[in-house]
Amino acid sequence: MPKPAKMLEQRIDHFFSMPAERADRWRDVVAAARAWSVGRADQNAAEAAFAELGPIEGFHAFPGSALMARLSDRLRGGDAVGFTDLVRRVSAAIVTRDFKYDPAEWRTTEEVVDTPADVLPPTLRHGDAKRPYFEMLIVAPGATTQAADQIAQLRNLRRPEDAFIYEIVPVDSFEDAICAAIINPDIAAVTIFEGFNYASRHSAPVLRSVLSGLGLDGARAEDADLALLLANSLKRLRPDLDIYLLSDRQVENLAGDARSASIRRVLYAIEEPLELHLSVLEGIQDRFETPFFDNLKKYARRPISTFHALPLARGKSVFKSDWIRDMGEFYGINLFLAESSATTGGLDSLLEPTGNIKRAQEMAARAFGADHAFFVTNGTSTSNKMVHQAIVAPGDIVILDRNCHKSHHYGLVLAGGQPLYVDAFPMTEYSMYGAVPLRSIKKALLDLKAEGRLDRVKMVDLTNCTFDGHIYNTRRVMEECLAIKPDLVFLWDEAWFGFARFSPVLRPRTAMGAAAAIETWIHGSAAVEAYEKQQQELGSDPTVDELLTTRLLPDPRKVRIRVYQTNSTHKSMSALRQGSMVLVKDVDFYTVESQFHEAIFTHASTSPNQQLIGSLDVARRQMELEGYGLVLNAIEISLAIRRAVNSHPIISKYFHMLGADGMIPAQYRESGFVDFLAPDTTWASQVRSMHDDEFCLDPTRMTLVCGTAGFDGTEFKALLANVYDIQLNKTSRNSVLLQSNINNTRSDVAQLVRVLLEISNGIETRLARGGDGERNALAARVKSLMTDVPDLPNFSHFHEAFRQDAGRATPEGDMRTAFYGAYDATGCEYIPLHGDECNRRLREGPEMVSANFVIPYPPGFPIMVPGQVITEETIEFMRKLDVKEIHGYEKARGLKLLKPEVISTKLRH
C-alpha cells in the first residue's frame, strides 16, 4: 500500500488544490506508463507513480475498487500496454468528468468488448446521459472491505424513472468520513450505519489538527453517540449534505433526540433498503427543485395570447421583424416566451409573494442559513436601501464604515438616519482602505453610552468582505457590540461574499454563519457562567480602556440576534446581473416586518424581470448541490495564480500579488498567520487565523501590484482588456484587483500567467535595449506610483449646523438636511478646486461645507458627503487624484458648496 495520507500532511493549499493535484497525479501515472510501454522507463517508475495516487482514491467512487484492482493486476502482471490503455482512459475520465455520464468509462478494456452485466453500475447504462450524478458516502463498520453487498443492493434498486444517479463511496471511520466530505465535492448525501471506527487507517495528522481547530475532535469509537457526533460534524463542515442514519437501536428515541436535528431521516437498519434509496433521491430532489424557475418554464410552454403591456412576450414582433430579428436570434425564443408579468396567471408576485416565489425564497433562506430571504432584482444597491428604510427611522444613529458602498450613504439620506462614520485602517501605499478596526466601533458605542445616547443607535453597518477582500471577524464584532448594546441590529453588506456560505473555512466569517454560532452559544449551558465571570473580572465600573482591550461577552439572557445580510448573487453565483438577496436572521423581525414590506414596495420595481427571479432560484439550486466544489475550485484557482505570479523568476521582478501580510497589518493578525503561501502555513494555522484574527483575507480577491512594473491601475486594466481580452475588477493607483470565481478554470490561470510573462518580457527587452535612460525612466515612474502617494483623508466632521441634534463628543450628523439643502440652487456656490479662493477659504474661512457626495473612482468611497466640512487633507487628496471619474464633482465649475449664509441661517434655527 502507498504511504498513507501523504497529501494530507502538506500545506494548506494542498487541501484546497486536491482536485487539481489528483488530476496531476493521474497524469504522472499516464506519463510513467507510457514511458514503460515504449521501453523508455522500467516498471518500477510506473509502480511508484501509481503508488503516489495514495489513499485519496478511496474517497471517490470513480474509478472505484474494481478498476483500481484491475490496474494493479496489470501493473503487477507486467502488462505495460494494458496498464497504459486503462490508466490513460481513467485519467481522462477524471479530468473530463465523463465517468458521470458514460458507462464505458467504468469498464476495463476487456469489458468494452465483452461486458459482464454485473460489473457496470446499472444506472450508468446508455440512455441515462442527462441525469445529474452525485455520490453518496456510506459510513459503516467494515465498509471498505465488506460493503460490496450493500452497494450492489442499492444499485439493484435503481430504476429508469429515477431522476438522478449516484455511486457510493464506502468508508469505515469517523475521520475518513470527514476527509471524504472535505475532499470529494461530488458527495451530496451520507448514510451512516452505527458501529464504525473513530480513527482512520491512514495517518492524517493535518486532518486531526483541522478537526481540532474546528472543534470536531475529541470523539472516541466507544462513544455511544459517535454516529450523532459524526452527523453534526459533517453538517458543520457541509450544511448542504443530506444525512441519513441507519440504526438498529430504538430509532424512535434517536429521532426524538434534539441532537439529531442535522439528520434528514433516521431509519431502522434492517428496514427496506428501498426506503433509503427513495429518501436519498427525494433529498436531492428537494434541493434540485426550483419552484419559480420550474413554473416559468411551464408558463413558457403554454400557448398564451397577451393583451397586456408586454410587447416582447412570445417574440412575435421580434421574429417577424426585418429590423430586430437578430435580437431574437441572439437571445433565443425562450427569453420571449418567458417574458411575463406577475399579474398574468400562474406566476407569483415578487412584491407580495404567496406562491412559487415565496417557496423559492424559503428555499434560499434554508440554503443560506437565514430565517427569511428576499429576492431583489435591482442589485444590492437596492437591497441595502431596503434594509436602511426598514430598520432606520429619522434621527436614528447608524455606525457606518465611511468607505462603504454609496448605497448605504444614499440609503441613510433617504431614511433620515444619522451616520456616525468610523474609518477603516488606511493602506496608503496602495491608495486603498482596509476594514474598520473593532476598537473604533466599540469606542463609538462607548462614547455614545457616555453621553447617554446609546438608545439612539439602531444599527452597525459594515462591508464583509470589503472590495479588496478584508473579512471581518463577524462573530467577534457582533458579540462585542452586543455586550455594549444587546439589541443592536447589524447590516453586513456581503455583496462580494455570498459564495462564502459554501466554504467551511469562510462560513464562520459570514453574517449568517456568525449569527448561527452566537445563537448556539447563547443557548448553551456555559454562556451565562462565562458572562458572569467576565463581569466579575471587569468589576462594577470598568474603564473605557479596559472595555476596549477586553474581548467582551454579551449577556446571553439579554441578547437579541438581529442580523441582516445583503449579497449580490450576481457577483459570486449564477444569478443574472442585478440579481441580489436580502437575508434576515432577526428574532424581532415580526416587529419590523410591515415596514420591511413597505421598504420593498418603495424600492422594488412593479415590473420585475422574470428571468432575474428565475436565475436567483437557479443560483440557489446550484450552490446547494455543487456550491461546495465550485467554491473550492475558486479558492484553488486563486492560490494557483498567487503562487504562479509570486514565484515566477521574471514575472515576480515586476509584479506581485499581495498576501494576507501585505493586506492586513500584523496587529490584526493576532494568530501570527502570514499568508496562504507562506512556507509554514498549514490548514490548522489557517483555521486558527479564521477563528481568532480580527481580519482575514478572502483568497479569491487578489491584489496585483502593477506600479512596480510602471503601470498605474487604470492603465494596466485597460492594457489587459484591450490587448489581451482579460477583464479585471477594480483598480487603485498602483494595483489592480483580480477575482477568481466559480467559473474559472486552470486554463484561465495559464492565460493570465502567459500574459503577465509577455508583459514582463517586454519590460526586460525595453530595459536591455534602452540603457540607463530607460532604466531611470522606469525607476522614476515606479517611484511616483509606489512612493509619492497621497495620504488618504479620514472623515473630517459634519458642520455644527448639521449637528444640532448630535452628541457633544460623538461625530454623527444630519446628512439628510444638508443633502436637501442643496436642492435650493441659490443656496449653493461653486469654488474651483485649484484656485486661490479655495486656499483662502481653507486659511481664513468661512469653512467650506460640501453640498453633495463626491466619490472618486477609484477608490470609490465618498471623500465628501453633504454637510461635511472640507479640510486641507481632503483638498490635497483631491488635487493629487489622477483619476478620470469623480462622481459629484464638475471639473469646470469646481466644488459644490452650501453657501455660508445658508449655514449661518441653519445654525440660528
Ligand X SMILES: Cc1ncc(COP(=O)(O)O)c(C=O)c1O
Residue whose cell numbers read 471587569: 538
d(CA 577, CA 568): 9
The residue (of 398 and 482) whose beta carbon lies closer to ligand X is 398
| Residue 186 C-beta: closest distance to ligand X, Å | 31
Least spacing, CB of residue 564 vs ligand X, in Å: 13
Quick one: 567 or 734, whose CB is closer to ligand X?
567
Q: What is the DSSP letter of 30?
A: H
Q: Which is nearer to ligand X, 493 or 586 (CB)?
A: 493
Q: Which of these segments, 375-383, 440-448, 760-768, 899-907, binds ligand X (CB under 6 A)?
A: 375-383
CA 9, 14, 20, 25 torsion-angle sign: negative
Q: Which is nearer to ligand X, 99 or 467 (CB)?
A: 467
The C-alpha atoms of residue 909 and residue 906 are separated, in whole angstroms, by 5
Q: Which of residues 825-864 bind ligand X (CB under 6 A)?
A: none
Query: Between residues 260 and 377, which has the closer beta carbon with respect to ligand X?
Result: 377
- Residue range at the interface with ligand X (CB under 6 A); choices 168-176, 362-370, 376-384, 665-673: 376-384
Q: Provide the grid cell at 520.
A: 448556539
Cα of first residue to Cα of last residue in the chain, in angstroms, is: 86
- Residue facing ligand X at closest CB distance: 379
| CA geometry: angle 689, 692, 698, nearest 5 deg | 45
Residue (7 or 404) nearer to ligand X, CB: 404
C-beta of 63 vs 608, nearer to ligand X:
608
Report in angstroms how near the CB of residue 384 gets to ligand X at its nearest.
Answer: 6
Of the pair 3, 577, the CB lying nearest ligand X is at 577
List binders of ligand X among 553-582 (CB under 6 A).
568, 580
- The DSSP result for 630-669, as a single string, is HHHHHHHHHHHHHHHHHH-TTHHHH-EE--HHHHS-GGG-
Judged by CB under 6 A, how many residues of this single chain contact ligand X? 11
Closer residue to ligand X, CB minimum distance, 45 or 576: 576
Pick between residue 425 and residue 497 the one whose CB is nearest to ligand X: 497
Q: Within 10 Å of residue 86's Cβ, how many Cβ atoms? A: 22
Q: Residues 494, 504: contact at Cβ < 8 Å?
A: no
Least distance from ligand X to the Cβ atom of residue 730, Å: 8
Neighbours of 291 (CB within 10 A): 18
**Residue 494 C-beta: closest distance to ligand X, Å:** 8
**Which residue, 707 or 859, is less far from ligand X as judged by CB?**
859
Build a one-symbol-per-residue string for 479-498: x at contacts with ligand X by CB under 6 A, - elsewhere. --------------x-x---
Near ligand X by CB under 6 A, which window of 88-96, 125-133, 317-325, 379-387?
379-387
Q: Which of 249, 248, 219, 223 is nearest to 234 (CA)?
A: 219
Query: Rule CB under 6 A: which of 389-428 touch ligand X?
Result: 405, 407
Name the pairing type of β-strands 695-697 and 656-657. Answer: unpaired
d(CA 374, CA 357): 9
| CB-nearer residue toward ligand X: 381 or 810 | 381
Closest approach of ligand X to the CB of residue 576, in Å: 11
Q: From CA 340, how far away is CA 346, in angstroms rounded?
A: 10
Residue 380 CB, nearest approach to ligand X (Å): 3
Closest CB 467 distance from ligand X, rounded Å: 5
C-alpha cell at 116: 459482464
Stretch (H or E) spanning 296: helix 291-301
Q: Closest CB to ligand X among 180 and 728?
A: 728
CB of 578 to ligand X, least distance (A): 6
CB of 468 to ligand X, least distance (A): 10
Q: Which residues are CB-contacts of 78 (< 8 A; sequence separation ≥ 6)?
A: 43
Q: Residues 274-280: contacts with CB within 8 Å, 24+ apart?
A: 274/157, 276/154, 276/191, 276/244, 276/246, 277/154, 277/157, 277/158, 279/244, 280/136, 280/166, 280/189, 280/191, 280/242, 280/244
Choices 270-278, 374-382, 606-614, 880-888; region in contact with ligand X by CB under 6 A: 374-382
Least distance (Å) from ligand X to the CB of residue 83?
Answer: 53
CB of 439 to ligand X, least distance (A): 22
* Shortest Å distance, C-beta 613 to ligand X: 15
Q: DSSP readout, 151-213? A: HHHHHHT--TT-S-EEEEEEE-BHHHHHHHHHH-TTEEEEEEESS-BSS-SS--HHHHHHHHH
* One residue of 293, 425, 467, 502 binding ligand X per CB under 6 A: 467
Nearer Cβ to ligand X (82/469):
469
Which parts of 159-198 interact with ligand X (CB under 6 A)?
Answer: none
Single out the residue of 233, 381, 565, 796 in contact with ligand X (rule: CB under 6 A): 381
Alpha-carbon distance 908 to 112, whole Å? 92
- CB-wise, 105 or 493, nearer to ligand X? 493
CB of 581 to ligand X, least distance (A): 10
Residues 499-538 close enough to bind ligand X by CB under 6 A: none
Alpha helices, DSSP H only, in 485-580? 511-523, 527-538, 544-549, 569-572
In the complex, least distance from residue 282 CB atom to ligand X, rounded to whole angstroms: 35
Min CB(392)–ligand X separation in Å: 17
Which among 196, 217, 364, 387 is positioned nearest to 289, based on CA atoms? Answer: 364
Q: Three-state SS for 462?
A: strand
> Could you give the dihedral angle defined by the CA atoms of residues 18, 20, 21 and 24, in that order, rounded to the nearest 10 degrees?
160
In angstroms, give the least distance from the CB of 135 to ligand X: 35
* Pairing verdict, β 656-657 and 701-705: antiparallel
Enter the C-alpha cell of residue 84. 497504459
| Sole residue written with cell 440660528 | 908
Cα separation values, 798 from 376, 418, 813, 824, Å: 33, 11, 6, 20
Name residue, grid cell 441578547: 559
Residue closer to ligand X (CB basis): 164 or 492: 492
Piece of the chain touching ligand X by CB under 6 A; list 94-102, 373-381, 516-524, 681-689: 373-381
Q: Which part of the chain contacts ligand X (CB under 6 A), choosing from 367-375, 377-385, 515-523, 601-609?
A: 377-385
Q: Which of 379, 437, 793, 821 binds ligand X (CB under 6 A)?
A: 379
700 binds ligand X (CB under 6 A): no
Nearer to ligand X, 193 or 497 (CB): 497
CB of 460 to ligand X, least distance (A): 15
Interacting span for ligand X (CB under 6 A) from 378-386, 448-456, 863-871, 890-898: 378-386
- Please tell me what DSSP assigns to residue 355: S
Could you say whether residue 380 binds ligand X (CB under 6 A)?
Answer: yes
Distance (Å, whole) CA 436 – CA 792: 14
Answer for which of 463, 744, 760, 850 binds ligand X (CB under 6 A) is 463
Q: Give how far Cα 428 sits from Cα of 434, 465, 518, 808, 877, Å.
A: 10, 19, 35, 31, 11
Question: Binding string, 12-41, against ligand X, x = CB under 6 A?
Answer: ------------------------------
Q: Which of 237/634 has CB closer to ligand X?
A: 634
What binding mask, one character per residue, do residues 580-619 give for ligand X by CB under 6 A, x or -?
x---------------------------------------
Report how far apart, in Å, the C-alpha atoms of 641 and of each of 608, 657, 724 are: 39, 9, 17
Report the alpha-carbon distance of residue 688 to residue 652 in Å, rounded.
29
The binding site for ligand X (CB under 6 A) comprises: 379-381, 405, 407, 463, 467, 493, 495, 568, 580
